[in-house]
Every structure is written in structure tokens, then in C-alpha cells.
Amino acid sequence: MDSQKTQTKIDRRAVAQLFVFSCLLTCGCGRQTSSTQQISSLDYDAQKEMIEHVIGTKLPESVRNCRYHSKSYGMGRSTGWGYFEISGADLPALLDASDYLPNASELGQHPGIRFNIEKYLERTGESIAWWKPLTLRNRRYAQKIIGSEKVTQRFELSMLPAMDVCVGEIRDAWMGVYIVYHCD
């Protein structure tokens, strides 16, 4: 019985350490620029790389207009906002390839996730000029709780990072993808 309690404590510690590490790694690595620095084409690639890092997979060649912004609240708590455009043909494969994004079949009308995408930014006091999810047509939402398959306690589940996603049409066969990454 004591060995089972010890194992449970070790498992909880491992989950907590994984959570803190993933938050620091994912949201704490944003590249900061001062207001006097000019943005070059290299920064565009850095934003694409940051999104790839956050979603845990390479973006297809069709992806364009990548944007990423993060805010740290201290104590391992942070939020990251991202956006990219992708061809409609490449989107399902990308969603299904990433362990950190919901599958394409999970996209739908989820009020809580919709709120996180459309209103959460206002509550943080942040202002991001390119954050315009309401411009997408036929918006669909989903959430992925990262690492949820490895926990058994509801409390532990609430400590895991989550990825909220909004997908919608922008023009022709192109889709816009907005992501909000929460590390609490």
C-alpha cells in the first residue's frame, strides 16, 4: 500500500514537472524586440518557428503570414497567441499530425473555446493588431488539453497546458488558424 502511495506521489510530481517544463519551454522562449528595432524577413521565419515549436510539428510549405505573441504572468503561467494561413487541403493533415492540436474531427461550435479565442485577449490587457478571429468565415473551434491522456485525477487535468484553436475561411481555398496556448 505504501509503495502505491509513493508511486502516486512520484507520478503527480512528474506531471507537475512536465507541466512547468512545457510552459517554460513553450511560452517563455518568445523573442523580444525593442520598439527601435526593425522587423526583417528573418523575424517572419522566427514567428513560424515559434508556432512550430508550440504546436509540436513542422508547418507545411503552404503556410504563410505567421504571427506569434506571448505574455508571461510569472510562476510558469503564461499565454501565447498565434495565427497562420494554410491551404484548406493541408489543414486536416496538420491538425491530425500534431499531438498538441485537436484533430480535424473535433472542430465545431464550442462556446467556452469560442470565448477564449474571441474575448480572452481583452481580459489580459494585451493588444495585438493582427488578432482578428472575427474576420474568419464559418469559424469552428476546438481545444486540446496537452498530456491529458497521462493523468487520472481531475485536479491534475486542470493544471495541464491547453491549446484553443479557431479555424475559418479567409478566401478561396485558404483557411486562417488562430491559436491560444494557456499555461496555468
- Reported as a single tens digit per residue, the pLDDT across 82-116 is 999 999 999 999 999 998 999 999 999 888 889 88
Under DSSP, the state recorded for 130 is T
What grid cell was written down for 123? 481580459
Q: What's the whole-number mean pLDDT along residues 113-134?
A: 87
Residue 10 has pLDDT above 50, yes or no: no
User: Which range has the worst mean pLDDT, 32-36, 102-106, 159-163?
Assistant: 32-36
**Cα-to-chain-centroid distance, residue 98:** 11
Residues 6+ apart with CB under 8 A from 84: 48, 51, 59, 63, 64, 65, 66, 67, 176, 177
What angle (nearest 5°) sits at the alpha carbon of residue 177, between those of residues 175 and 178?
150
User: Which range has the worst mean pLDDT, 26-30, 96-100, 131-135, 174-178?
Assistant: 26-30
Binned at pLDDT 50, 70 and 90, residue 134 comes out as very high
- pLDDT at position 19 is 40
- pLDDT at position 37 is 36
- Domain segments of the chain: what residues? 2-32+39-183
pTM over the 0.75 mark: no
Residue whose entry in the numeric block shows the C-alpha cell 494585451: 126
Residue 32 has pLDDT above 90, yes or no: no
Residue 183 has pLDDT above 80, yes or no: no
Specify the 3-state DSSP secondary structure of 137. strand
Residue 181 has pLDDT above 50, yes or no: yes
- pLDDT at position 9 is 45
Q: What's the whole-number mean pLDDT along residues 132-159?
A: 80
Under DSSP, the state recorded for 149 is G
